Amino acid sequence: MSNTRGAPGGGSGRNAFYAQSGGVTAVINATACGVIETARRHTDRIGKVFAGRNGILGALSEELIDTSRESPAAIAALRETPGGAFGSCRYKLAPPERDEREYARLMDVFRAHDIGYFFYNGGGDSQDTAHKVAELGAREGYPIQCIGIPKTVDNDLPLTDTCPGFGSVAKYVAVSIGEAALDVASMCETSTRVFILEVMGRHAGWIAAAAGLAQRKRGDAPHLILFPEVPFDQEDFLGRVSETVDRNGYCVIAASEGTRYADSRFLAEAGTRDAFGHTQLGGVAPVLAEIVNSSLGLKYHWAVADYLQRSARHIASGVDVEQAYAVGQAAVEFALAGKNAVMTSIVRTRDKPYEWHVGDAPLGRVANVERSMPKAYIRKDGYGITAAARRYLEPLIAGEAYPSYEKGLPRYVPLRNELARKKLQPWSA
């Protein structure tokens, strides 16, 4: 696939709609760059690329950002810019049999703006949306090529070797916990004995596992990793913390936000749910810190990586940036080749040296399916990663892709984000 950059769109073909969905990443804009630059190289078949303001909500509200008004330099700079350049959302379309109004509105907007290509960039729920739009087009007899584009820091989409966004989070977490461990080791004699870093991962422990890459030799931090896939045993956990402190003088723990008891209750369950119906989590690190302090009386400190881990473009994985761009580029090429109702995917063909290419997976087999950590990747004692996990993870954090800097800070692009003229009546849910 070529990486040459074309001029703004506005050709004779039908228009494309691209949107970002769910939690954004350090590299989701690199995917947007791949989509837009590739479309601009095919102006004979694709007119304009409209981006939804705040994801699928932009389609429903007819707030379509006209990316043809952005310069080639601005679009190219997206490759180095974190966050969601066009705005994202957590919004799941209701099943059509329950409420058809949203689907009728989508069709109205697509027809009004001659949308012939639909590219939805997100995780499992987003792939479900792309799948529903593909089914909608078929049901309505409306010709539209629907391509899902993977994005999730949780790395939990099936039928892809990895999910763009994960490699950069994995790199950030491994670097951060390794650096924090050096700090704790320096002060443990008179200060913190137990340090807990909470990372994302509700049902899948991929990010927590990535912390294990910081271990270069036996005894290195993180000393304990807590996975959603392994039931939390408080007595065993406290025993291991105590043993580690006795042996090393300190203990560093990487804890997935989805750490749960054997009965599936989250340690940090807050009792509320998000827009997708997922349980809201209130912070596992302070819960673990309280358990350690009340039972062992050890001085502790905790931190939550939170949005920092998914927005840290300054330390992004070079492989992740490359793959994020490639799945966006391939989405356009697949659509032009006539493919429909598929998600672009990363296919690994070799571990060392790491080799991969872009493939495709049926949206019907991807939507609403979560991929957990394989048992073979989790150490038998449940507190670390295996050599197989390391072989899988290490290539994904390889390479540096530093953004451009100005006056000591990364230079990130602001887009104009000018809206296309509306043609329909206002939408109300």
Catalytic residue positions, numbered: 154
HSE-CB for 91 with a 13 A CA cutoff: 19
DSSP secondary structure letters along 110-172: HHHTTEEEEEEEESHHHHHHHHHHHHHHHHHT---EEEEEE--TT---SSSS--TTHHHHHHH
Task: Name 302's bridge partners.
Answer: 196
Structural tokens at position 409:
């800070």
Measured in degrees and rounded to the nearest 5, phi and psi for residue 355 equal -130, 140
Phi/psi class of residue 408: alpha, beta or left (left: φ > 0; alpha: ψ in -120 to 50)?
Answer: left
- Cα 37 to chain centroid, rounded: 21
| Dist CA 108 CA 120 (whole Å) | 18
Torsion, CA 109, CA 115, CA 121, CA 125, rounded to 10: 50
Measured in degrees and rounded to the nearest 5, phi and psi for residue 98 equal -95, -35
| Terminal CA-CA length for the chain | 41
Report the SS3 class of residue 77.
Answer: helix
Measured in degrees and rounded to the nearest 5, phi and psi for residue 267 equal -60, -35
| Dist CA 397 CA 144 (whole Å) | 36
- Cα 25 to chain centroid, rounded: 5
